Amino acid sequence: MVKKARGSRKEAEKVRLTPGEKYALIEEVIRTYGLKRAVAYLCRVAGVRRQSDYEWLIHRESRDLRAEADDEDALLLIEIQERKKGKAGYRTLHMILRNEYGVVMNHKKILRLTGLFGLHARIRRAHPYRKMAKATQEHRTVSNHLNREFHQDEPGKVLLTG
């Protein structure tokens, strides 16, 4: 019979690293402790292929170049977001980049950069109860036609609610 795990669910959850984080960790361990011959063992422990680790090491320069290009593009996106006061979504950013700056950038890249640098558009949400109150005209103020002259000479001329 299996017993329940003790503690909260957060304790039971394991921290999951991305493959890139695992490769960086392996490289750091090898550099720190000088374990050049332990690459296969470390890859086996981390659950990644040794060949993938070597490929990750080879492509470090291209990753660094991409990160620098992303930083430059992000500065451009930040400039546009500040000009639009944070109200530009990725489609608006794409159109402004293409039309005003002459920069061709894929919308998926813009989405990735806005998520990476936290440049999400501020969207004013509609208030559903306000729409409903306007539709039912529940709290509407009626104009003052009587000027507080409630008693009239003719019966039925003025009808009031109590």
Which single residue is written with the structure tokens 């640098």?
A: 117
36, amino acid identity:
K
Percent of the chain at pLDDT > 90 equals 54
Q: What is the pLDDT of residues 11-70, one digit of tens each?
A: 556 778 889 899 999 999 999 998 888 899 999 999 999 999 899 999 999 999 999 999
- What is residue 89's three-state secondary structure? coil
139: pLDDT strictly greater than 90: no
Side chain identity at residue 9, one-letter code? R
Core vs surface per residue 99-114: b (16+ CB within 10 A) or e:
eeeeeebeeeebeebb
Angle between the N-to-C axes of helices 60-83 and 50-58, in degrees from 0 to 180, rounded to the nearest 10: 60
pTM of the model: 0.59
Q: What is the per-residue pLDDT for 1?
A: 45
The residue extents of the domains of the chain are: 14-58, 64-123
* Average of per-residue pLDDT values in the chain: 86
Structure tokens belonging to residue 68:
């620098």
